[in-house]
Amino acid sequence: MQQILQYTQFIKQAAQQLGFDFCGIAKAKQLDEDARRLEKWLGQNMNGSMQYMANHFDLRVDPTKLVSGAKSVITLLKNYYPSQQQTEDAAKVSKYAFGKDYHEVIRAQLKALLSQMYTHIGEINGRGFIDSAPVLERSWAVQSGLGWVGKNGNLINKQQGSFFFIATLIVDVELQYDDVYAKDFCGSCTRCIDACPTEAILPNKVVDGSKCISYFTIELKDQLIPDSMKGKFDDWLFGCDTCQDVCPWNRFSKPHHEAEFTPINEVLNFSLKDWEMLTEESFKTIFKNSPIKRSKYQGIQRNLQFIKTSL
Ligand code: B12
Ligand code: SF4
Ligand code: SF4
């Protein structure tokens, strides 16, 4: 018991030192209720063309199938709320994409945390994940006591809002577990539902991924954005922050301290015209380490044309 407490304390302290803002821990187990929500979501084709969401269902709802011998899921939140905002004329880009690609930044920090655990705890089996694996990251954040899922589908932390990335570390070590976050502080508020430009936010905290601007501008590949969305993009070029910008809990957002997330000038300043003038070569150079590269040059040009013809 003493050792469990000591390992837990060590992990939480190391996480903080490595630059994570919050750390919570839950017992690894199958997530039955969340599995049902996911099944329904997939059944209604809310994943659109994101085929990867339909893959590995069993692994996604059960971390013990993803990492052999898994006993604990450590969830880490990393703040990305920037201190600088885009200029008024800039084409709208989600705040999470202002700086260096979070996958790269957080993967390195997860690796460092695991390596400290190897040194301190010894031979353990563990794997770190950030966004790209079949893990229900929001669900684990709730299980680890870090916040609630808001009506806009995002994990909201009562102290600092929702502008956080969620990373998980699944390990075969028993640790002390935090209580599930059983409260919900959305109350009667409906600001996100009312503000969503494409009506993607449905009742009961369901977000139809196939209607979300983030899906169209980032995940939809090599296809034209459907005409039914014309005039509804509110000028978003890459991602969308509307349902978080209007959320009253984000009044408590604090600027992050991660040097790697320092905004690149082009994102803060590029107007639609600047983006249009950009050559593929310059795009590849400027956005080499940015999350924006996920859309590829062609995707960005498609988004631009869509916004222009919607004006
Ligand atoms: C697919 C995906 C998308 C898709 C689909 C969105 C969606 N709603 O699922 C698209 C491309 C549209 C998208 C958009 C965005 N995404 Co995204 N996305 C993901 C991804 C890869 C999987 C999410 C998933 O499993 N969806 C399926 C649905 C069914 O699951 P879910 O929304 O997570 O809900 C689960 C739980 O929350 C729980 N749950 C929900 N409500 C309730 C209520 C109760 C009572 C209970 C018990 C449980 C429960 O059950 C669900 C599981 O079945 C995750 C990374 C990951 N591996 O988890 C990132 C992730 C969810 N995205 C993230 C971000 C930042 C965004 C954007 C803000 C980016 C942007 N600015 O453009 C938007 C926000 C859109 C929105 N309002 O949700 C972050 C969320 C951080 C946070 N604070 O919540 C994640 C965790 C990535 C990360 N590692 O940081 N995303
Ligand atoms: S990210 Fe934008 S489009 Fe997607 S649910 Fe939120 S407000 Fe709606
Ligand atoms: S805007 Fe209101 S309803 Fe939507 S997530 Fe925030 S508090 Fe909840």
So what's the pLDDT on residue 188?
Answer: 98
Give 281 Cα–ligand 1 centroid separation in angstroms. Answer: 32
Taking 50 as the pLDDT cut, the residues of the chain under it are none
Quickly count: other Cβ atoms within 10 Å of residue 90's Cβ: 19
Taking Cα atoms as reference points, which of 114, 130, 146, 133 lies closest to residue 66? Answer: 133
So what's the pLDDT on residue 1?
Answer: 77
Which residue among 22, 36, 37 has the greatest number of ligand 1 atoms within 8 angstroms of its CB, and so is best to mutate?
A: 37
- Type of residue numbered 152: N
Distance, in Å, from the CA atom of 143 to the CA atom of 257, rounded to the nearest integer, reads 26
Q: Tens digits of per-residue pLDDT, 163-203?
A: 999 999 999 999 999 999 999 999 999 999 999 999 999 99
Burial (Cβ within 10 Å: 0-12, 13-18, ≥19) of residue 232 = middle
Distance, in Å, from the CA atom of 168 to the CA atom of 63, rounded to the nearest integer, reads 10
Give 153 Cα–ligand 1 centroid separation in angstroms. Answer: 6
- pTM beyond 0.95: yes
Indicate whether residue 200 lines ligand 2 (CB < 6 A).
yes
Indicate whether residue 190 lines ligand 3 (CB < 6 A).
yes
Which residue among 138, 249, 251 has the greatest number of ligand 3 atoms within 8 angstroms of its CB, and so is best to mutate?
A: 249
Quickly count: other Cβ atoms within 10 Å of residue 311's Cβ: 7
Give 278 Cα–ligand 1 centroid separation in angstroms. Answer: 31
Give 248 Cα–ligand 1 centroid separation in angstroms. Answer: 19
Which residues are tagged catalytic?
131
Residue nearest (by alpha carbon) to ligand 3 atom 7? 186
